[in-house]
Each structure stands twice: as structure tokens, then as C-alpha cells.
Copies of this chain bind each other. A is one copy, B any other.
């Protein structure tokens, strides 16, 4: 299911191949986010041109619209959105805690109100698996509590205890299903390495398909995130893929891949694009800035459709005029940038002597 193709001699980086029901993924990999069964502004043709290998979708959002019952009736998310490659779904736990104004945690479930109409919903460790089964995604995540940052060790420990029980319950439930879908564990423990290690030791031999690091990208300084990644990755089984949830800015890639992270996702490329920000080899720039008004060069030395076809002056004009082609072309570039950046790191490892 997961095979390490090559290990770097310079770091703990590795190149792997992750097999799913909708094809193989070469790791390390950047996964564009398609929350509601659409990567904002991108057609599936666009995503294929860019070379995206796998995309994310979100269980919380899809459970509300179009509902997972409908997705099952439609034959699953792949045919619904016409994306033929792998899809990973997160459990929706993060959204329960970030979007729902009221929620109540019980030992076996969380009750919350829909951010759309306030109606009462319940997520259990088991029904979140059922949601993902009906969605038809290839990689599933367990329901967890995403502790805010900063949080005391006691608070993190308390949430972790609940999360860990849920994950074990979810694992038992997944284990008895007849499914080809992979199931990852989530490692919580906040910014406390000993709690993280405790988590890993509980789960490492249970037969999960992979390990996700959760509770990062929640507002902590980059250094703290990196410390946690550096302290946890050596504890994880070598032969399973590691997914760093919600992390995937250009400045994160080198370090995290060197620690042995295999999978990244990040909503930033699209969100930044909507505000005029684009990645370049020399850092992020804001195309709304006056300095780009008459700049007839492309965003970057880059082979994406946007850079091959349009200048900064034109893109800025679209942004100033609030034309929808602006966010479309900027998202295209930003997603391309991250996908190709990780591709290059992977190819560099493969090219090592």
C-alpha cells in the first residue's frame, strides 16, 4: 500500500508510492483543497494540466451540501465532480470547532449546529466513517478534537484523551468494513512533544494506513510547528505515509520533507489568490501593489498557463476591476507553484547519487 522508493542521504526525506483505489500517488505530494467537491475556480482539466495527483475534500461541508446520502446516490464524489484520481477527506472535526457556533462534546459524540441553518447535527467516530464511505473518498480521517492554540498541557491532554478514544473506536469500525479506502490516524498533543509521543505509541501498531499530524497550522509560530514536526516524525513507523494537516506554504516544504513528511495540504494558495497574493521563486508578492501596474512580465519564470499567457499588469488590472478571471488565474499559478515545488523536491531526492 505504501512503498518507499528512495531515502535521501542528506536528511530523513523519502520518496514513496501510495496506492489507492483511484491510482498511485508519488510522495512527497502537495494536495490542493477542494472543500465542497471543487477546488475553487479550477476545472478538473486545470487540475490535470497542473499535475495534481490527489485533492482534498471536506466531510463536514459535504455532509451539509449536497449531503453524503446524495453523494452515495450519485455514485460517489469522483463521478460527481468528474475527478478520476485519489481524494482524501478530512473528518470535519476541524470545522465542527471552527465554524459551528455551538457544539457539545460527549464521550462518544459531538453535537453541533450547522453553520448554514443552525440545525442540530451529530458526529460520532463511527458516523464520520460512514459519511466518508458514502462520499467514496480514497483516504479517510477520524473524528478528532482540534485544540486551539495556545492551550495548556492539561487542556491538550484532556482533548487528546477524548480524541484517542474516538480514533480507536473509528479504527475498530473501519476495520470491519469491506472497503479499499485507507484510514489514517491523527496524532494530536498540541505543542507538547511528550503528549505527541504518547499518542504515537498508542497508535503505531494498530494497523492504520498512515499517520496525520493534527493540531498544527492553528495559529502557532512556524518555529513551534517545526519543532513539533521534528520531534514527532522520528517516532512514527517508517513504512507508513505521514500527512502534515493544513501545512503547505512554500516556506514549509523543505524543512518538513527533510523531517520525513510525505503529504501536505493548504487552503492558502486559493485564499491568497483571492486577495492578489502570488508565490514567486523570490517570495510572495501582492499584485494589487501599484508597482506592478505597468509590469508587462509574468509573475515568475514559470511554465504555468497564467505565466505563459498573462503579465502582471494584466493580472493587476483584473484584480483592480474585480474581474473573476483574476482569482482564477492567480489560484492556477499558486496551486501550480506548490505542486511543482514538491515535485521538484521529490525529483531531486530521486536524482541523488
* Interface residue ranges, A against B (CB under 8 Å): 36-38, 40-45, 65-66, 70, 73-75, 80-82, 293-294, 296, 305, 309-311, 313-314, 317-318, 320-321, 323-325, 327-329
Contacts and interface: CB of A to CB of B under 8 A. Distances in A.
Nearest to A41: B324
A313 B36 contact: no
A324 B324 contact: yes
A41 B309 CA distance: 15
5 contacts: A36-B318, A43-B325, A65-B317, A70-B313, A74-B294
Most chain B C-beta atoms within 10 Å of own C-beta, residue among A75, A309, A324: A324
A81 B321 CA distance: 14
A294 B36 CA distance: 16
Given A324-B328, A328-B328, A329-B43, A80 B314 contact: yes
A121 to B, nearest CB: 17
A328 B43 contact: yes
B305 A38 contact: no
A294 B69 CA distance: 11
A38 B317 CA distance: 10
A321 B36 contact: yes
B324 A66 contact: no
Contacts of A311: 74, 80
Given A66-B317, A81-B314, 4 more contacts: A38-B321, A80-B311, A80-B314, A82-B309
